[in-house]
A = this chain, B = another copy of it.
Amino acid sequence: MKDSNSVTSATKSTLLMTQQQLLEHWQGHRALTRRVIEAFPEDEFFSFSIGGMRPFAIMIKELIAIAAPGAKGLATDTWEQLDEEIDLGQSKSEILSFWDKATEDINYWWSQIPLERFQEDVLAFGMYQNKGYCNLLYFIDNEIHHRAQAYVYLRSLGIAPPAFWER
């Protein structure tokens, strides 16, 4: 990882967190989100809704549209438009395959993100002007946000969701 190459051990003890630690934090959340997808019955994953909100499958489409393209954008500073209309198939198993592909893609691109990028201004997806670390935290927070809504969906369906604290 970049941070271990470009930061000396003397300064490492004064780092809030390393780039590798932030990746592990993100992937830990993504592993939990994967278990929440798995917890849904096939039908309800695509159809269940409360208060006019989107079914969890549509939220997951958004998260997949952001995740690997977001990591690639931070690595290359070349951003394509956010594409939430990608075809992810019509089954949980197909969507889980796309989820797992994104997990690998994130790891691939992460190692190419220059550490300096996190403090630079970036225009994520050509739309979201913010520092790199703010955009990255937004990707993670947005996932926590939608996944928590799926927790309510599951509870409403009488299904116990996976423990929030297990990553």
Contact = CB atoms under 8 A, between A and B. Distances in A.
A162 to B, nearest CB: 12
A133 B14 contact: no
Nearest to A128: B165
A164 B137 contact: no
Given A142-B164, A144-B144, A50 B16 contact: no
Given A51-B156, A52-B155, A156-B51, A17 B148 contact: no
State the number of copies, please.
2
Contact of A115 (B16, B119, B144): B16
Nearest to A6: B14
B7 A11 contact: yes
A146 B148 contact: yes
